[in-house]
């Protein structure tokens, strides 16, 4: 289930990386800011906040329901769920 949820998770994960790479990480000198990205971070947060919230709500509710059905310890369950959810993101962006 988390691998399937990881497919739409590509959008919020990419948004998080884009915001971080053009904002705080660029200010620290760890990345280069996009030359066309000079509108500030507020516009991106207006777009990203609902995407993060909606995906987090869907992911959380689905996993809380599934957690009740498993006999695995909670810490192991949540670690595996998180790792499985980010696999599609790294599979797509790790290829480029």
Q: How far apart are CA 92 and CA 22, in angstroms?
A: 21
Rounded to two decimals, the pTM is: 0.82
User: Using one digit for the tens of pLDDT, what is the confidence trace for 5-52?
Assistant: 999 999 999 999 988 888 888 889 998 888 877 777 788 889 899 999
Predicted local distance difference test score (pLDDT) of residue 95:
65
CB 6 within 8 A of CB 84: yes
Match 């059905």 to its residue by tokens.
69
Q: How far apart are the first and last CA of the chain?
A: 26
Q: How far apart are CA 41 and CA 44, in angstroms?
A: 5
């Amino acid at each position: 289930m988390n691998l399937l949820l990881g497919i739409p998770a590509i959008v919020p994960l990419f948004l998080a990386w884009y915001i971080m790479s053009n904002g705080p990480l660029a200010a620290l000198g760890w990345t280069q800011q996009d030359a066309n990205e000079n509108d500030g971070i507020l516009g991106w947060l207006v777009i990203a906040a609902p995407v993060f919230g909606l995906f987090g709500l869907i992911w959380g509710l689905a996993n809380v329901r599934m957690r009740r059905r498993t006999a695995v310890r909670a810490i192991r369950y949540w670690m595996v769920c998180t790792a499985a959810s980010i696999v599609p993101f790294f599979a797509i962006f790790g290829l480029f």
